Amino acid sequence: MRSQALNPILKWAGGKTKLLPAIKELLPENFDDLVFNEPFFGGGSVGLALQPKQAIYSDANSELINFHRVVTSCPSSLIERYYRFKCTKEEFMRVRAWDREPDFTTKYSFIERAARFLFLNKTCFNGLYRVNLEGYFNTSWGKKEELPPINTENLYAVSAYLKQDDIGILNLDFQDTYPAPGEFWYLDPPYLEEGVYNRYTKDEFGLKQHEELVDLCNRIENMGSRFMASNLDTPQVRELYKDYNLHEVNANHVIGGKQTRRKFAKELLITNY
């Protein structure tokens, strides 16, 4: 792990900033000798906090991965393009509609798409990334009065870390990842919450996907590698991971969309060591 502090560039649902002390406390003693694998990279709060020397960061969300790749390779161009957006509802709705265009990924450059991703993240309601069944971004306007600034110093520092030779950024679903010996996996899926909308790609992440994630944990175990998974502390989650070590943590996880309906829930860190 490195000493320079790095912070997530994006606001991301399920970010693990509050859980980091518990995660660090439970890391295996030989963490620095293992290849770090994080198939639900999201906003990157865990990887950026730990800064492993060798890492594979992946996510099923192609626009998210495009954003992280542009941060890595073209940080100055990303910043310049972001500040060309206007902070109005009309601009938000216009830019949000880009992905409805049939040639979205070819009409707009990877830098434009990354700047759009950052713009929507910073100006949508509550920073929530959500798509509909067609895969189109559909979070509403966040009523910002002015364009939120970028912490450019942090963005350049994140870029410097991610562009190292032994760091990989891949657009993969967790089901397409393959464990190997000598690895440490951190697994942070959309939490298994009853009645909660979990769609960060066009495919919903429900009980079936959580069962498949347990299968991945079993394969990691069979390879002799180690994993840590995070989820809510519920009877259903405890049953899924009954063969592993369950560590109770209280990170004040907020569930529910409207502030008046929000409540706090306890979480679990699950390990095979």
**One digit per residue, pLDDT tens: the chain, 273 residues?**
565 899 999 999 888 888 999 999 999 999 999 999 999 999 999 999 999 999 999 999 999 999 999 999 999 999 999 999 999 999 999 999 999 999 999 999 999 999 999 999 999 999 999 998 898 999 999 999 999 999 999 999 999 999 999 999 999 999 999 999 999 999 999 999 865 555 555 677 889 999 999 999 999 999 999 999 999 999 999 999 999 999 999 866 554 445 444 456 789 999 999
Alpha-carbon distance of 138 to 143, in angstroms, equals: 15
Give the contacts of 1 (CB within 8 A, at least 6 positions apart): 31, 32, 50, 51, 52
Alpha-carbon distance of 79 to 68, in angstroms, equals: 13
Alpha-carbon distance of 149 to 83, in angstroms, equals: 9
Alpha-carbon distance of 90 to 139, in angstroms, equals: 14
pLDDT of residue 13: 83
